[in-house]
Chains A and B, each alone.
Chain A
Amino acid sequence: MTVTGAPVWAVVPAAGVLLALALAAAVLDSVLDTAGIGADGTAQAVRGRRWSRPLAEAARLMRQRGRTTVEPDRLLWRIGTAGPLVAALLMAAVVPVGGTVVADLPVGVVWFNTVDVTLWAALWLAGWGPNSVYPLVGGYRFVAQALGYELPLMFALTAPAVAAESLRVGEVVRAQQGLWFVVWMPVAFVVFLGSVAAFGAWGPFSSPVGRDAAGGVLAEAAGVDRLLLLAGRYALLAAGSGMAVALFLGGGAGPWLPGWLWSLLKTLAVLAVLVVLHRRLPVLRPERIVRIGWLVALPAVLLQVLVVSAVMVAKG
């Protein structure tokens, strides 16, 4: 399947699709959440049916007043608050849906990596801005765990790029005709999914927004700020799932259905896996994530890259 760039107006539907996927993830998470307790530890009154709770919560947050603290750094706080959602949109720009992609960059894979690195800055700034201790703790936790997941993520991105002999995401999709990369790069795929959860501060990696720190980065965010951070988190998961589909699961390849539908279905499936695992796994402390990242994930994924490179050399 060939992937071509889309005209500029494609930005609008792409953003819409990303937000819809984020909402789908939030709805699924809410349906699975039987306890009625949000990720940040605040008990939310269960009003209405569970599947409609995310939209109700969004509407409530839009009406809620923002919060101010003593001497906040407003500029940096705003940047940090908008950061996750903007980063998710920038990531989605290089993710092909079927045969189309918003921006068919020649270095799409590196672009994805760069955008996820900007999250280091964004979440730390979101923690620094309010001048309050729990968000600051959350921001530092994110930077600490980023040190653990970033290097394995880089090599997990390297493996498909090596196999496709290109940094263009469209080329990576094209190279998977016949055999999806997930089949012979399972380690890279698992590490990539884990990293997606990590940069979304999700599941085992959710200590930056952890309950033990009163919500961490989210602790002082209220109203639209909170909505932006929460939506950004789900959007990051959605964009990461889309990238996982493009890099490892053959993009829009599949029988009978059109390519864009296959892309969306696969993305939804990966997203559902992430959401379901969210409550099944314990939260890890950042120092432990660094240990796992450097002592387990990094050697494993380096071996994976070695295998891929050997196969490519053997193929000639």
Chain B
Amino acid sequence: MQTALFCVLAVVAVASGAAVFVVDSMARATYALALSFVAVGVSLLLLDLAYLGVVTVLMMVMEMAIMAVFMVMFMMNPAGFMPMSMLHGKRAALAVSGGVFLALAALALLVPWPDRRGAAPADPTRAAGEAIMGSKMLVMIGVSAVLFTTIVAALVLAVARGRYGDDESAEHGHREGRGPHNGHGGGHGSHADHGGPGAHAGHGDHGGRIDHARHGTHAASRPEGSGT
């Protein structure tokens, strides 16, 4: 029963993982990856890892919801209406990944794995928590330092505003959430928009998901475009 459930989950995880690189729509690709993570999270539940399984689903669904926003923002063809190939070195990549799979699978099957040592604790969540707050505390302190550095570094890299307020990037219209122009869809009233991060309806430059929708935004935002 458990093995059957695991096989179903494994097939779902791998199939939706492969679908990420097959489907044209970026929204579908992102949520296919989310489905793959959900399948993996549920399969962790089969290993008595209630907390880790649920947390994997939590983290990954959240990540993919954010990922979808970035995918739509940066990809040329977010809705997949104009199928195009965005690959390089496909054959080499196939060969390498096939080789990786064969090597790893051979390792998994051929290595004489040792016997199970000890039994699972009655409450693995408690065991993990006690480890984090006890013997493994240093690991988590390291992780927290890395995470904090990441927050700072990512903000420094990504925020257009310089240290002393709006710099030259303001004239490119990348200003975010400040000043009188921050109505939805930008107050410029021209649909040759910059499409930088912050554009709401897809990717301005590359012809976002919906042409009529994009025009719709600007047409609609014009009357309320404050101050222009």
Interface membership of A124, Cβ < 8 A: yes
The chain A residue sitting closest to B57, CB to CB, is A114
**Is A120 located at the chain interface by the 8 A CB criterion?**
yes
Once the chains bind, are A114 and B210 in contact (CB under 8 Å)? no
Chain A, interface size: which category?
Answer: 20 to 34
B65 cross-chain contacts in A, Cβ below 8 A: 117, 120-121, 124, 143, 146
A57: interface (CB < 8 Å): no
With A106-B50, A133-B201, A137-B217 known as contacts, the answer to whether A70 contacts B62 (CB < 8 A) is no
Interface of chain B, main secondary structure: helix
Stretch at the interface among B27-35, B96-104, B167-175: B27-35
Question: Taking the complex as formed, is B184 at the interface, i.e. its CB lies under 8 A from any CB of chain A?
Answer: yes
Instruction: Tell whether, in the assembled complex, residue B79 and residue A73 are in contact, meaning their CB atoms are under 8 Å apart.
Output: yes
A75 to B68: give the CA distance in the assembly, Å. 16
Question: How far in angstroms is the closest Cβ of chain A from B56?
Answer: 9
A121 touching B200 in the complex, CB below 8 Å, given contacts A107-B50, A128-B27: no
Q: Which residues of B contact A70 (CB under 8 A)?
A: 212
Who on chain A is nearest to B224 by CB?
A212
Known: A107-B125, A131-B209, A137-B184. A114 touches B58 (CB 8 A): yes
Which chain A residues (67-81) contact chain B, with CB distance < 8 Å? 70-71, 73, 75-76, 79
Q: Which chain A residues lie closer than 8 Å to B51 at the CB level?
A: 106-107, 110, 167
B143: chain A residues within 8 A (beta carbon): none
* Contacting residues, chain A, for B61 (C-beta < 8 A): 114, 117-118, 120-121
Interface bits B115-147 vs A (CB < 8 Å: 1, else 0): 000000001010000000000000000000000
Query: How far apart sit A133 and B209, CA to CA, in the bound complex (Å)?
Result: 10
Q: Which of A124-151 contact B (CB under 8 A)?
A: 124-125, 128, 131-133, 136-137, 140, 143, 146, 150
In the complex, what residue of chain B is closest to A132 when comparing beta carbons? B213
Are A114's CB and B200's CB within 8 A? no
* Contact between B213 and A136, CB atoms less than 8 A apart: yes
* A132–B215 CA distance with the chains assembled, in angstroms: 11
Most buried by B among A146, A150, A167: A167
Choose among B31, B177, B182 the residue that contacts A121 (Cβ–Cβ < 8 A): B31
Chain B interface residue number, banded: 35 or more
In this assembly, does A105 line the interface, its C-beta being within 8 Å of a C-beta of chain B? yes
Measured in the bound complex, the distance between the Cα atoms of B200 and A133 in whole Å is: 9
Contacts of B31 in A (CB 8 A): 76, 79, 121, 125
A167 and B210 contacting across the interface, CB-CB below 8 Å: no
Q: Mark B177-188, 1 if CB is under 8 A from A, else 0.
A: 100001010000
B25 contacts chain A at the CB level, 8 A cutoff: yes
* A52 contacts chain B at the CB level, 8 A cutoff: no
The yes or no answer to A177 lying at the interface (CB within 8 A) is no
Closest to B80 in A: A73
Which residue in A75, A120, A137, A287 is a CB contact (below 8 Å) of B200? Answer: A137
B64 interface residue per 8 A CB criterion: yes
- A124–B177 CA distance with the chains assembled, in angstroms: 21
Q: CB-defined interface of B87-110 with A at 8 Å, one 1/0 digit per residue?
A: 000000000000000000000000
Interchain residue pairs with CB less than 8 A apart (7): A106-B123, A107-B51, A121-B64, A133-B212, A137-B184, A137-B200, A140-B200
Instruction: Given A111-B54, A114-B61, output 14 extra A-B contacts at Cβ < 8 Å.
Output: A71-B81, A73-B28, A117-B61, A120-B62, A121-B61, A124-B65, A131-B209, A132-B210, A136-B202, A136-B210, A140-B69, A143-B69, A146-B65, A167-B125
